[in-house]
Amino acid sequence: MNNPKQLIFPFQINQKASFESFFCTPENELLLSKLTEAVSSHSHQELIINGMPAAGKSFILQAICNELSRAGKELVFVPMSKAIEMSPKIFQNLSSLDAVCIDDLHLILSKKEWEVATFNLIN
């Protein structure tokens, strides 16, 4: 039985998202290779995935979550499009996790409480 190590939050993750199922153009091959390497390295890294709308950023972030979960890492996936309606306190006590994967981070701009909570989480 699969025992994923993702914390329980009221957010859904695409369990089928994977590096293998990501449609990769020749321009993205290096990016995908570096992401695969980063996830496999087991070292502490901070990653920011940036790109045009509908480029697959959310999909690849969920693929990273799935890969880390399969490797036994404890993590949380936070889609800010849904979390922004909650209290920033959800970021408290997450620093002990192996990974905190935040999608649509740009949504916290000009929201001071969220900016402070995010700053405290990563510092």
Whole-number Å distance between alpha carbons of 77 and 6 = 8
Whole-number Å distance between alpha carbons of 41 and 45 = 9
pLDDT of residue 81: 94
Q: Which CATH number is 38's domain given?
A: 3.40.50.300
Inside any domain, residue 65? yes
pLDDT of residue 60: 92
Inside any domain, residue 17? no
> pTM of the prediction?
0.82
DSSP per residue, the chain:
-----B---S----TT--STTS---GGGHHHHHHHHHHHHT-S--------STTSSHHHHHHHHHHHHHHTT--EEEEEHHHHTTS-GGGGTT-TTSSEEEEESGGGGTT-HHHHHHHHHHH-
pLDDT of residue 63: 94
Q: What is the mean pLDDT of each run of 10 residues along the chain (123 residues)?
A: 52 86 84 85 81 89 93 92 94 90 96 97 91
Inside any domain, residue 46? yes
Please check whether residue 68 is in contact with residue 41, taking contact to mean a CB–CB distance below 8 angstroms: no
pLDDT of residue 8: 55
Quickly count: other Cβ atoms within 10 Å of residue 67's Cβ. Answer: 18
Inside any domain, residue 42? yes
Number of domains in the chain: 1
Whole-number Å distance between alpha carbons of 68 and 73 = 5
Q: Which two tokens mark 42? A: 């087991």
